[in-house]
C-alpha cells in the first residue's frame, strides 16, 4: 500500500473516499461489480485508533450487487486500492468494514495545510455559488434583549459563520415585529409613564410593560430626544397625548438599544426587515390573493380559512378573521415568501422552542402558494430556555428590565467571549444552565478559558523564544515532524486534522456546539502535550518540530474560536 503518491485532498476522509471510488471503478472494469453498482458509503473516524483511523462500510452496501459476501468483496476492494504513501496499512474488520491506518506522513501533511492556509484552514467551498439567509433574534422592539435572545444571537451568528465557512453566501436577517398588540402595549406603557403614572398606580395598563426602561424612554420622549436608527432620525414630539408619535419614538429608541446590545455581542445583520412593510407594500394582501387563486382557501363563519391540513398541518387555519384583520401567521407566510423571492436557496430561522406550534402552518402556507418552494423550507433551529445561576441560586430578574435577565447583564458580568461560548456551546434543543461563577472562573473548569489559554500558551512560548535570543525555522520544523512520534503528539496531530470535517458536519447539521466540542478536544490534547514536553530545547531540530506543530495548533484554535465569534488572546 505504499507508493509515490500521497493523500491529496484537504480532508483526509475525502482522500480516502477518492481512493475507494477508484477501487470500485477497477472492479467494474474487471467485471467483478456491475457497471451500475453504486452505494452512498461513508468514511468516518473510528472511536478507537486500535481499529484504524478511518472505517468504511462500502463492502457491506455493495455485496448484494456483487453477489459476494461482504468480507470477500472488501478483500477485493482493498486489493484494488491504488498505492498511497499516506496509508500505512488497511485491514478488514467485522462483517466487512474496511479500516484504514494512516501513516505519520498523512498527519504531517495536515500541519503543512494549516500553516499554508492560515485562517482559511478548515473551510471548504461546498456551498459556493449558493445563497443562504439566516434569520435570528427577531425580538419585538418592546424592551431590552433578554438571555433567551442572547442564545438566539449566539446560535444564529455561529450558524451564519459556519455556512460561510462552507462556502455559502450568507445574509443575516433580523425581522422586526413592529406591528400588533405588543407594540400598542409598549406605546400606552410609555404614555402612562410620561403622564406620571407608575406600574403600581391605579389605571396602569393591564398589559403594560413595568421595567425601569419604560421610565427612561418616557423621560427621553418628554425631553425631546432624537433617535437615529437604520439611517433615519426620529425626534420626540413631546406630546403625551399623541400615541402614534409615542409609538414611533419608543420603537426607534428600543430598536437602537437592541442594536447596541447586539453590537456589544459581536453580532451584526445585513437585513433589517419590518413587519409593517409587509402591510405597507401590499405583500400580505398579495399573498392572501395568491392563496385564494390557488384554490387552497374557503370561507366559514365569516372568516377566510387556509386548507393547511392538505400540507401537513394538524388542522386548517384562519387567515382572515370575521372582523377583516389577519391572524399572525399570515404575515409570517408573506415574509418567508419574500425570502424565497430574494433568492434564499436555503433559509434558516432560529427561534425559541415556544414558537414550535407556528412552524407547520407557515410551511403549509408556503406550500399552498405553489410557487416552487421545496418541502421543509425554511429550516428551523429551535433553542430551549436558559436558566442563569449565581452562587448556586437562580437569577431571575434584571434591575433595569424588572422581569428577566438581560443579555447586557451577562455581558457586563462575564464578558462577551464567555457569554457567546456558554450560549452556543450546547445543543440548541437542550436546556442550558448559564453558571455565572463558572463563566467568570479563570480555571481549567471553565471551557472557554481552557481553550483560550491553550492559544495564549503557544504565544507565550514564542515570546520566551525571542527573549532567549533563539530562532525558529518553520521549514526545518516541517522537515523534522517525524521527530514527534510520541502518543501525546500523535493525539495533537489527530485532533488538529479533524477541523475541516467538523466544520463540514456542523454546517450541514447547523450545530455550532460541534465546533466547541472540537476546540475542547484540541485544547486538551495540546495541554497534555505541553505538560509532558519542553518546547524550547537545545536540540534545534526538535525545537523547530515542536514549535511548528504548536503554531499549527494555535492557528487551528484561532480558526475554531472565530467560528464561535470568540477571541483568541495572545496572553491571559
Helical ranges in 265-390 per DSSP H:
275-280, 283-293, 329-341, 356-368
Residue 5 has pLDDT above 60, yes or no: no
Determine the pLDDT at residue 271. Answer: 95
Torsion of CA 123, 124, 127, 129, to 10 degrees: 100
Express each pLDDT in 481-496 by its tens digit: 999 999 999 999 999 9
Determine the pLDDT at residue 3. Answer: 37
- Which residue's C-alpha cell is 403622564? 195
Residue 145 has pLDDT above 60, yes or no: yes
Express each pLDDT in 544-556 by its tens digit: 999 999 999 999 9
Express each pLDDT in 238-289 by its tens digit: 999 999 999 999 999 999 999 999 999 999 999 999 999 999 999 999 999 9
Is 527 in a helix, a strand, or coil?
helix
Beta-strand ranges (E) seen in 103-141 are 131-135
Residues 6 or more apart in contact with residue 474 via CB below 8 angstroms: 115, 544, 548, 551
First to last CA, the chain: 47
- What is the number of other CB atoms lying within 10 angstroms of the CB of residue 85? 16
Query: Sheet containing 432-435: which strands, arranged edge to edge?
Result: 393-395, 386-390, 432-435
Task: Judge contact between 270 and 302, C-beta under 8 A.
Answer: no
Q: How far apart are CA 404 and CA 149, in angstroms?
A: 11
Q: How far apart are CA 101 and CA 123, in angstroms?
A: 25
Determine the pLDDT at residue 230. Answer: 81
Segment 226-242 mean pLDDT: 94
Residue 4 has pLDDT above 50, yes or no: no
Where is average pLDDT lowest: 2-6, 125-129, 522-526? 2-6
Q: Is the overall model pTM greater than 0.95, yes or no?
A: no
3-state secondary structure 359-416: HHHHHHHHHHCCCCCCCCCCEEEEECCEEEEECCEEECCCCCCCCCCEHHHHHHHHCH
- What is the number of other CB atoms lying within 10 angstroms of the CB of residue 571? 9
Mean predicted lDDT score pLDDT of the chain? 94
CA-based radius of gyration for the chain: 29
**DSSP state, residue 146:** B
Which domains are seen in the chain, by residue range?
A: 12-102 (3.30.1360.70), 109-125+443-563 (1.10.730.10)
Q: How confident is the model at residue 6 (pLDDT cuts 50, 70, 90)?
A: low
Determine the pLDDT at residue 356. Answer: 82
CB-based burial label for 492 (10 Å; 0-12, 13-18, 19+)? buried
Segment 504-523 mean pLDDT: 97
Segment 428-435 mean pLDDT: 96
CB-based burial label for 430 (10 Å; 0-12, 13-18, 19+)? exposed
Segment 166-195 mean pLDDT: 94
Segment 202-214 mean pLDDT: 91
For residue 179, which of 251, 86, 262 has the smallest C-alpha distance?
A: 251
C-alpha cell at 11: 480532508
Determine the pLDDT at residue 75. Answer: 97
CB-based burial label for 31 (10 Å; 0-12, 13-18, 19+)? exposed
Segment 451-474 mean pLDDT: 96
Determine the pLDDT at residue 385. Answer: 94
Task: Judge contact between 409 and 402, C-beta under 8 A.
Answer: no
Q: What percent of the chain has pLDDT over 70?
A: 98
- Which residue's C-alpha cell is 492556509? 117
C-alpha cell at 171: 445574509
Is 351 in a helix, a strand, or coil?
strand
3-state secondary structure 460-522: HHHHHHHHCCCCCCHHHHHHCHHHCCCHHHHHHHHHHHCHHHHHHHHHHHCCCHHHHHHHHHH
Q: How far apart are CA 549 and CA 478, in angstroms?
A: 8
Express each pLDDT in 369-425 by its tens digit: 999 999 999 999 999 999 999 999 999 877 777 788 999 999 999 999 999 999 999
The per-residue b/e assignment along 372-394, b for 16 or more CB within 10 angstroms, e otherwise, is ebeeebbebbbbbebebeeeeee
Determine the pLDDT at residue 8. Answer: 64
Express each pLDDT in 317-371 by its tens digit: 999 999 999 998 999 999 999 999 999 999 999 999 988 878 999 999 999 999 9
Q: How far apart are CA 96 and CA 93, in angstroms?
A: 6
Amino acid at each position: 500500500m505504499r507508493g509515490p503518491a500521497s493523500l491529496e485532498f484537504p480532508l483526509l476522509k475525502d482522500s480516502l473516499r477518492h481512493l475507494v471510488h477508484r477501487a470500485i471503478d477497477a472492479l467494474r472494469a474487471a467485471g467483478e461489480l456491475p457497471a451500475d453498482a453504486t452505494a452512498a458509503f461513508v468514511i468516518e473516524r473510528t472511536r478507537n485508533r486500535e481499529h484504524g483511523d478511518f472505517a468504511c462500510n462500502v463492502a457491506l452496501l455493495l455485496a448484494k450487487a456483487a453477489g459476494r459476501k461482504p468480507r470477500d468483496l472488501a478483500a477485493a476492494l482493498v486489493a484494488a486500492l491504488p498505492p498511497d504513501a499516506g496509508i500505512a496499512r488497511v485491514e478488514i474488520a467485522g462483517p466487512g468494514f474496511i479500516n484504514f491506518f494512516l501513516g505519520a506522513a498523512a498527519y504531517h501533511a495536515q500541519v503543512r495545510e494549516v500553516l499554508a492556509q492560515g485562517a482559511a484552514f478548515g473551510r471548504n467551498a461546498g456551498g459556493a455559488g449558493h445563497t443562504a439567509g439566516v434569520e435570528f433574534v427577531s425580538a419585538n422592539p418592546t424592551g431590552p434583549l433578554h438571555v433567551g435572545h442572547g442564545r438566539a444571537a449566539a446560535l444564529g451568528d455561529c450558524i451564519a459563520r459556519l455556512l460561510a465557512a462552507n462556502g455559502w453566501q450568507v445574509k443575516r436577517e433580523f425581522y422586526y415585529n413592529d406591528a400588533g398588540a405588543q407594540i400598542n402595549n409598549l406605546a400606552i406603557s410609555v404614555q402612562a409613564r410620561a403622564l406620571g403614572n407608575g406600574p403600581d398606580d391605579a389605571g396602569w395598563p393591564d398589559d403594560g410593560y413595568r421595567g425601569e426602561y419604560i421610565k427612561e424612554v418616557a423621560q427621553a420622549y418628554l425631553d425631546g430626544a432624537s433617535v437615529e436608527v437604520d439611517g433615519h432620525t426620529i425626534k420626540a414630539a413631546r406630546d403625551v397625548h399623541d400615541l402614534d408619535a409615542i409609538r414611533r419614538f419608543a420603537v426607534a429608541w428600543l430598536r437602537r438599544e437592541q442594536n447596541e446590545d447586539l453590537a456589544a455581542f459581536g453580532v451584526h445583520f445585513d437585513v433589517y426587515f419590518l413587519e409593517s412593510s409587509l402591510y405597507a407594500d401590499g405583500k400580505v394582501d398579495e399573498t392572501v390573493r395568491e392563496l385564494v387563486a390557488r384554490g387552497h382557501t374557503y370561507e366559514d363563519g365569516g372568516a377566510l380559512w387556509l386548507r393547511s391540513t392538505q400540507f401537513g398541518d394538524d388542522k386548517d387555519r384562519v387567515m382572515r378573521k370575521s372582523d377583516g384583520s389577519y391572524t399572525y401567521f399570515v404575515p409570517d407566510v408573506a415574509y418567508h415568501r419574500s425570502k424565497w423571492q430574494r433568492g434564499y436557496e436555503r433559509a434558516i430561522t432560529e427561534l425559541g422552542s415556544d414558537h414550535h406550534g407556528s412552524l407547520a402552518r407557515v410551511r403549509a402556507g408556503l406550500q399552498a402558494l405553489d410557487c416552487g418552494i421545496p418541502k421543509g423550507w425554511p429550516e428551523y433551529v429551535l433553542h430551549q430556555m436558559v436558566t442563569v445561576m449565581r452562587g448556586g441560586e437562580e437569577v431571575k430578574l434584571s434591575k433595569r428590565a424588572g422581569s428577566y435577565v438581560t443579555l447586557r447583564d451577562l455581558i457586563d458580568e462575564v464578558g462577551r467571549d464567555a457569554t457567546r461560548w456558554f450560549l452556543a456551546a450546547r445543543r440548541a434543543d437542550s436546556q442550558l444552565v448559564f453558571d455565572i461563577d463558572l463563566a467568570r472562573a479563570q480555571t481549567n473548569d471553565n471551557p472557554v478559558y481552557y481553550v483560550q489559554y491553550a492559544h495564549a500558551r503557544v504565544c507565550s512560548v514564542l515570546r520566551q523564544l525571542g527573549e532567549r535570543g533563539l530562532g525558529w525555522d518553520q521549514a526545518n520544523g516541517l522537515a523534522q515532524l517525524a521527530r514527534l512520534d510520541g502518543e501525546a503528539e500523535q493525539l495533537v496531530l489527530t485532533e488538529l486534522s479533524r477541523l475541516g470535517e467538523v466544520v463540514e458536519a456542523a454546517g450541514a447539521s447547523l450545530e455550532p456546539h460541534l465546533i466547541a466540542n472540537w476546540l475542547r478536544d484540541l485544547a486538551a490534547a495540546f495541554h497534555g502535550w505541553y505538560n509532558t514536553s519542553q518546547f524550547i530545547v537545545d536540540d534545534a531540530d526538535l525545537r523547530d518540530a515542536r514549535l511548528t506543530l504548536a503554531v499549527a495548533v494555535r492557528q487551528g484554535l484561532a480558526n475554531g474560536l472565530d467560528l464561535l465569534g470568540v477571541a483568541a488572546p495572545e496572553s491571559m
